[in-house]
Amino acid sequence: MEITSAKYIKSSPSLQDCPRADLPEYAFIGRSNVGKSSLINMIANNEKLAKTSRTPGKTQLINHFLFSGQKANGQTQSWYVVDLPGYGFAKRSIAQRNEWQRMIDHYVTGRKNLMQIFLLVDSRHNPQKPDIDFAQKLYSLQIPYTIIFTKSDKENQRTVHQNIQSFLKALSEYQQFLPQQITTSSTKKTGRKKLIDLIKEMNEAQL
Ligand SMILES: Nc1nc2c(ncn2[C@@H]2O[C@H](COP(=O)(O)OP(=O)(O)O)[C@@H](O)[C@H]2O)c(=O)[nH]1
Ligand SMILES: [Mg+2]
């Protein structure tokens, strides 16, 4: 599928403020600085769409983007992409973390049109507790999710592969079924087609 347009819609402080739940929706979440905004820009082919930053922890809101694509048969599909505030940002106070937790729980359990969560994990590192904990939370809530291993250009393939295997091993201690996985690099555009194909498939499953 070819992306024909991608535009920013709004930033919402809570679930109630989100746009009407009338299109399939895909939310991107992960630790601050994992590459969420860069990945959204990579899908859109627009480096300026979602703000990317070297200073982590800037996104505190639920950011909606409207994407449209044209399938091989000429048919158009539209869907929402959501950039969620990241977790694990050390400079937040306990009150801010609790607030984040409440907002995210509310969104992931209450958003009616949410098709899938894309959980971003930095492929440069060994399994990190906040990522495992979040995956575990989604699993126990029975929210469908896909893991995206980001920044695969930054380490050699062997290290990336080892980190992915260790992460999956850590997950399998809790989860009977492992989620789908995609390895990406926003700078090299790795994984773009796989991600768009997955979204296309889920958009259609919904019809
Ligand atoms: N080399 C490389 N750098 C990346 C990649 N994705 C993100 N970055 C960089 O990592 C930093 C954080 O990215 P950003 O998308 O803002 O992360 P967010 O906080 O999760 O939205 C920025 O400096 C990006 O340029 C990638 O795939 N490869
Ligand atoms: Mg961001």
Does CATH number 3.30.230.10 belong to domain 2-206? no
Q: What average pLDDT does the structure give for the chain? A: 92
Please tell me the distance between residue 100's alpha carbon and the centre of ligand 2 in angstroms: 15
Residues with CB under 6 A from ligand 1: 30, 32-38, 52-54, 56, 86, 150-151, 153-154, 185-187
Domain map (residue ranges) of the chain: 2-206
Burial 22-48 (b: 16+ CB within 10 A, else e): ebbbbbbbbbbbbbbbbbbbbbbeeee
Burial 1-20 (b: 16+ CB within 10 A, else e): bebeebeeeeebeebeebbe
Question: Hey, what's the torsion of the CAs at 45, 60, 206, 143, to 10 degrees?
Answer: 130
Distance between CA atoms of residues 122 and 177, nearest Å: 21
Eight-state DSSP code of residue 190:
B
pLDDT tens-place string over residues 143-200: 999 999 999 999 999 999 999 999 999 999 989 899 999 999 999 999 999 999 999 9
Mean pLDDT across 9-15: 94
Cross-strand bridge partners of residue 180: 146
Please tell me the distance between residue 62's alpha carbon and the centre of ligand 2 in angstroms: 11
Q: What is the pTM of this model?
A: 0.94
